[in-house]
Amino acid sequence: MARILGTGIATLDIINTVNGYPAEDSEVRALAQAVRVGGNTANTLSVLAQAGHECLFAGVLGGDMSGRRIASELEARGVDLRHARRVEQGAAPTSYILLNQINGSRSIVHYRDLPEFTIGDFMDIAAIEACDWLHFEARHCDELAVMLAYARSVLIDQPISLEVEKERDGLEALWTYPDIVIFSRAFARGRGFTQPEVFLREARTWAAQAILVLPWGEDGAWALCRNNELHHSPAFPPAAVVDTLAAGDTFNAGLIHAMLSGQSLEAALSDACQLAGRKVGQDGLGNLLAPAAALGRVLCPLNSLPDPGSRGFVVDDGGTMRSIFVVRQGLAAYGYLNHCPHLSAELNVSADAFLDEDGRHIRCALHGALFDIEGGLCLAGPCEGKPLTRVDVRVERGVVVLNSYVKDS
């Protein structure tokens, strides 16, 4: 499978489903509410990870509770966050979404109080040239133009794709770099176009080197080849529209996956439309490309942990949020409840710091108790002879997977 680097945003989506969009200055009752991790690039990588691709997220994550939830869920989806920039005092971007049950339309209010990912952050990523595909979300265009130029200078023949969802200042600086540009219908309409073919012919004057792609909802999608041959795929609507959120991000994932698999542009366009249709017919992004959920609850890629190293997670155990941690030793991983048997306190003070200085033992930062990594037994300290509560984890296909939450010691 391919190594895919995606640069963009990850958000927390708060979704209220309503029976018709409310009038201004009115009050309605939501039929349902859901809280999910979203963001264009984060969603696209989440779907691609289901097919077994190694997906790396390059963006900014906040250090608040919502930011930690975003990180935990992305890693659970199999997205590698080693190249994300962490802003410990930052608040996670949040999208407040009204989803109209009648027709699937949605209205979104975004809140963002984090800095953008910069060219400095991007250049800190080691071995960009080892990636098989680079995907960018068009935002913060001045910085992004430099990222694209830098990526183009170090890549050999790996494709660069650019998603253009909305109008932004500085877009004209981006057109000359990507191999594929995926526009949104909203962007085309915002520029005054009502016919996909006419828009793509105009966009050809901006990006002469690129394949140009334009999904158009229920009418399918169009693509303009470099030789100006035009392709169209019909839409593949589900029996019932359930959830239109992230349909465009899913389309992007389907297109990238199909092209990485060696399919022609025409076939890839059809695959992307089919995948987007499947998404619209279900809640969320689960099980769109592969039954990854059958593995269990994915916590993180093994290679995102130092060797030896540790990381904490907050997991939902049947409605109860539990703090757990995982320790890596070589190719093995061991999981425990973050709960010292001495005074029932959490073991760590700093994030992900569960080991002693030489990495040979788990340590309680409160009173210095030392525990065996493989079995969790306290070897020294005030709770000597008492074990940590084990959490059943395993390593499979290069990721740490949670089998069940608490295992009897």
Mean pLDDT computed over 226-236: 94
Query: Residue 398: pLDDT band by 50, 70, 90 thresholds?
Result: low
pLDDT at position 295 is: 45
pLDDT at position 138 is: 97
Residues 80 and 176 in one domain: yes
Q: Which domain holds residue 300?
A: 296-407
pLDDT at position 347 is: 94
- Minimal CA–CA distance to 398: which of 335, 345, 328, 340? 328
Q: Which residues contact 147 (CB under 8 A, 6 or more apart)?
A: 7, 119, 122, 136
Q: Give me the percent of the chain exceeding a pLDDT of 90.
A: 67
Token pair 């990495």: residue: 359
- Minimal CA–CA distance to 248: which of 223, 228, 227, 275? 275
Query: Residue 351: pLDDT band by 50, 70, 90 thresholds?
Result: confident
pLDDT of 31 > 70? The answer is yes
Residues 376 and 237 in one domain: no
- Minimal CA–CA distance to 196: which of 172, 220, 164? 220
Which CATH number is 374's domain given? 2.102.10.10
Query: Residue 23: pLDDT band by 50, 70, 90 thresholds?
Result: confident
Query: Residue 406: pLDDT band by 50, 70, 90 thresholds?
Result: low
Residues 307 and 269 in one domain: no
Residues 334 and 400 in one domain: yes
CA-to-CA distance for 384 and 326, rounded, in angstroms? 21
The domain tally of the chain equals 2
Task: Specify whether the backbone of 102 is left (phi greater than 0), alpha (psi in -120 to 50) or beta.
Answer: alpha
Q: Are 77 and 298 in contact (CB under 8 A)?
A: yes
pLDDT at position 83 is: 96
Residues 213 and 320 in one domain: no
Which CATH number is 46's domain given? 3.40.1190.20
Mean pLDDT computed over 52-70: 94
Residues 200 and 302 in one domain: no
Q: Give me the percent of the chain exceeding a pLDDT of 70.
A: 95
Domain end point (choices 267, 294, 321):
294
pLDDT at position 184 is: 97
Residues 284 and 388 in one domain: no
Residues 263 and 321 in one domain: no
Residues 63 and 207 in one domain: yes
Residues 84 and 229 in one domain: yes
Mean pLDDT computed over 357-364: 94
Structure-token pair, residue 321:
């949020």
Domain end point (choices 294, 326, 360):
294
* Mean pLDDT of the chain, nearest integer: 90
pLDDT at position 343 is: 87
Residues 248 and 227 in one domain: yes
Domain end point (choices 263, 294, 325):
294
Mean pLDDT computed over 346-359: 92
SS (H, E, C) the chain: CCEEEEECCCEEEEEEEECCCCCCCCCCCCCEEEEEEECHHHHHHHHHHHCCCEEEEECEEECCHHHHHHHHHHHHCCEECCCCEEECCCCCCEEEEEEECCCCCEEEEEECCCCCCCHHHHHCCCCHHHCCEEEEECCCHHHHHHHHHHHHHHCCCCCEEEEECCCCCCHHHCCCCCCEEEECHHHHHHCCCCCHHHHHHHHCCCCCCCEEEEECHHHCEEEECCCCCEEEECCCCCCCCCCCCCHHHHHHHHHHHHHHCCCCHHHHHHHHHHHHHHHHCCCCCCCCCCCHHHHCEEEEEHHHCCCCEEEEEEEEECCEEEEEEEEEECCEEEEEECCCCCCCCCCCCCCCCCECCCCCCEECCCCCCEECCCCCEEEECCCCCCECCEEEEEEECCEEEEEEEEECC
pLDDT 10s digits, 275-297: 999 999 898 998 888 543 344 56
| CA distances from residue 176 to 66, 202, 378, 380 in whole angstroms, order as listed | 36, 15, 60, 62
pLDDT 10s digits, 124-141: 998 899 999 999 999 999
Residues 56 and 203 in one domain: yes
What angle (nearest 5°) sits at the alpha carbon of residue 165, between those of residues 164 and 167? 85
* Prediction pTM value: 0.72
Residue 86 pairs with which residues in a beta bridge?
Answer: 61
